[in-house]
Amino acid sequence: MTPQAQGRIADCRDQALAISVGETFLATLKQKGVDYLFVNSGTDSAPLVEAYARQSESGLDFPRPIVAGHENAVVSMAHGYTMLTGKAQAVMVHVTVGAANAVCAIMNARRDAIPMLFMAGRTPLYEKGVLGARNGAIHWAQEMYDQAGMMRELVKWDYELRGAVNLDDVVDRALAITQAAPAGPVYLTLPREVLSEPTAPGAVSAVPATVPYPPAPDQRAVALLAHMIAAARCPVLVTSASGRDAATVAPLEQFCERHGVGIVEAKSRYLCARSGHRYHLGQNIHPVLAEADLLICVESEVPWIPETGEPPATTQIAHVGVDPLFQDYPIRGFRSDLAITSSTAAILPVLDAMLSAIDAPQASDQRKANVSGLVRKRLDRRAARIAATVAAPAMTKDWLNICLNQALAGDTVLVNEYWADRELLDLERPQSFFMHSPAAGLGWGLPAAVGAALAAPDKVIVATVGDGAYIFGNPAACHHAAAMHDAPFLTIVCNNARWNAVQASTFGVFPTGHAARGPRPAPLSDLSPIPDFELYAQASGGYGERVTDPGEVLAAMRRGIDVVRRERRQALLNVICD
């Protein structure tokens, strides 16, 4: 360090003053509302490492660093934190190679509309002569002509920080765009020389970004939808993600109860309506497609599976969402008679008022009777399914769900990447259930559970994953991060030693083919011999247990929850399933 630099540091010890672009950058993030920097660091992180090391002297307030040993982990941890809090966080990985490892997790965040300031260092710009220039052999081979190109289709905005002059403007724009509806990750690259650049000692003063309000509905369009509902015999509201905004759960339920509208949560990623709602029709629209004469698809990218069944030609279809066309999807051909651009929170009160003004009581009563009939059929199907499983307990996913339903308590939050089945779970509390994004990039569940535990330390986070998803989740990195950051959670692995999705998909395409007739597991789906997953948790100071007896599943789940709640330790159940 030069004598001049040492002098500047000495002058700043009693003041909160930044002396580099890196310090200014971190302080700006914090002042704009970013609480955490989820980071998998590399050689490009040197200016930030130096800033954190000097923090006790600088007096500057930075986002708390949350370190994890894999890029998929840090991105998905930020995803898990934000899905509970709604607050966008920052993530930083190592140049091109780190960004490449993070692509899958970024796709999950984009498809799930998760705001996130994703950042990667950039290979140093210069070969010599500038502070932060290349000083390692990897700095040549890691450079790409278009580093952001690998991410561009999956982020809303990308940019490279060029210097300190417009740093506040760059960060402000990044945070505003990532949170604007529909939310999604943005990408900022950070050259090491830029972050290393010394600056004159100065205070950092920044304000949170101004985020546009979400879209409100066109009044004429809402009036049309109100008349469609008033004229319907059996309307059904289909949603997959309205519960992302937990404040919409009660208004949506009240609207449907008041006007006799059924609710289907089509492979929902959030709790959009309580399981016990009187007009809840489950997680699958197909059993009621023939009866529904109006489908109101609210924040639902795939309301039905065309290959499985289509609504009758006479059924009217309305789509509602902040992006009802899902413009990021290259092809999406669901038929539509009406499309309304609006957040769920904005449309519900307007639609309720308009429908109340025109609805005839006898029409509302008839809708309620028709939907109630469908609910009874759904509850009968559910009861028969449960009765058959309870009569002959076995290590199946249905048995695991029945036991899980009994084990869950008011302070538990499910983070599901595979086997938790909302058809068998009685969930009554908003933000008690989260599932992987529509892209379903494997390896999300474990690190998302770590992020959820950071966001809600007063809750017991339960991650329900399969063996394949568990392996994809980089379990050593995730259990290590949970221990490092005091973020305990319970992992329940449904371990059938195969990628069941691969096998089931093959049988679906070729139901009478050789794979369907041949020995099981099908080719390319067998994962045996499988590791002793419980040892991963034990290696990071957690509790691990192997479960093979169906009679022990419920007790084991309760033990695992108790370890997390009372001992503040992570736990894992390796449940050997059929």
Judge contact between 101 and 93, C-beta under 8 A. yes
Same domain, 151 and 295: no
Measured at the alpha carbon of residue 227, what is the angle toward residues 224 and 228, in degrees to the nearest 5?
85
pTM here is 0.95
Alpha-carbon distances, residue 509 vs 284, 285, 444 (angstroms): 20, 21, 27
Strand partners, 316: 294
**Mean pLDDT within 127-153:** 95
Same domain, 187 and 230: no
User: Nearest 10 degrees: CA dihedral of 297, 291, 306, 221?
Assistant: -30
Same domain, 315 and 402: no
Same domain, 43 and 164: yes
Q: Is residue 210 part of a domain?
A: no
Q: How confident is the model at residue 82 (pLDDT cuts 50, 70, 90)?
A: very high
Contacts of 555 (CB under 8 A, 6+ apart): none
* Nearest of 436, 466, 64 to residue 268 by alpha carbon: 436
Same domain, 236 and 361: yes
Same domain, 325 and 405: no
Of 338, 360, 384, which marks where a domain is finished?
A: 384
Residue 4 pLDDT greater than 80, yes or no? no
pLDDT number for residue 504: 85
Same domain, 515 and 368: no
Count up the domains in the chain and report the number: 3
**Mean pLDDT within 90-115:** 97
Same domain, 300 and 244: yes
Which pairs with CB-CB distance under 8 Å and at least 24 residues apart come from 132-138?
A: 132/46, 132/47, 132/191, 132/192, 132/193, 132/194, 132/195, 132/196, 132/197, 133/192, 133/193, 136/43, 138/43
What's the pLDDT tens digit per position in 194-207? 999 999 999 999 99
Q: In this structure, how many other beta carbons lie within 10 angstroms of the beta carbon of residue 140?
A: 11
Q: Is residue 237 part of a domain?
A: yes
300-315 as b/e: b if 16+ CB within 10 A: bbbbbeeeeeebeeeb
What's the pLDDT tens digit per position in 302-314? 999 999 999 999 9
Same domain, 180 and 233: no
DSSP E strands: which ranges in 176-261?
A: 185-191, 198-202, 235-239
pLDDT number for residue 17: 96
Strand partners, 574: 493, 546
Q: In this structure, how many other beta carbons lie within 10 angstroms of the beta carbon of residue 570?
A: 31
pLDDT number for residue 172: 98
Q: Is residue 139 part of a domain?
A: yes
Phi, then psi, of 283 in degrees rounded to 5: -105, 5
Judge contact between 133 and 127, C-beta under 8 A. yes
What's the pLDDT tens digit per position in 265-298? 999 999 999 999 999 999 999 999 999 999 999 9
Residue 549 pLDDT greater than 60, yes or no? yes
Q: Is residue 469 part of a domain?
A: yes
Contacts of 23 (CB under 8 A, 6+ apart): 51, 54, 58, 60, 204
Q: Is residue 449 part of a domain?
A: yes
What's the pLDDT tens digit per position in 528-539? 889 999 999 999
**Mean pLDDT within 467-484:** 96
Q: Is residue 214 part of a domain?
A: no
Residue 31 pLDDT greater than 80, yes or no? yes
CATH number at residue 197: 3.40.50.970
pLDDT number for residue 370: 98
Chain-centre distance for alpha carbon 476: 21
pLDDT number for residue 6: 54
pLDDT number for residue 521: 87
Sequence letter at residue 174: A
Judge contact between 413 and 432, C-beta under 8 A. yes
Of 170, 202, 234, which marks where a domain is finished?
A: 202
pLDDT number for residue 502: 86
Q: Is residue 119 part of a domain?
A: yes
Residue 9 pLDDT greater than 80, yes or no? no
pLDDT number for residue 422: 97
Burial class (CB in 10 A: 0-12, 13-18, 19+), 522: buried
pLDDT number for residue 519: 85
Same domain, 431 and 485: yes
What percent of the chain has pLDDT above 90? 92
Q: CA-based Rg of the chain, rounded to a whole angstrom? A: 26
**Mean pLDDT within 37-66:** 96
**Mean pLDDT within 444-471:** 97
d(CA 73, CA 448): 8
Residue 11 pLDDT greater than 60, yes or no? no
Give the residue numbers spanning the domain of 568: 393-576
* Nearest of 273, 269, 270 to residue 237 by alpha carbon: 273
Judge contact between 200 and 219, C-beta under 8 A. no
* Nearest of 176, 183, 161 to residue 208 by alpha carbon: 176
pLDDT number for residue 306: 96
d(CA 85, CA 95): 28
Q: How confident is the model at residue 14 (pLDDT cuts 50, 70, 90)?
A: low
d(CA 547, CA 542): 16
**Mean pLDDT within 171-188:** 98
Same domain, 421 and 467: yes
Q: In this structure, how many other beta carbons lie within 10 angstroms of the beta carbon of residue 190?
A: 22
| Tally of helices (H runs) and strands (E runs) in the chain | 21, 19
Same domain, 507 and 545: yes
What's the pLDDT tens digit per position in 477-507? 999 999 999 999 999 999 998 878 888 888 8
Judge contact between 474 and 445, C-beta under 8 A. no
Q: What is the mean pLDDT of the chain?
A: 95
Cis (ω within 30 of 0) for the bond into 182? yes
Of 333, 359, 384, which marks where a domain is finished?
A: 384
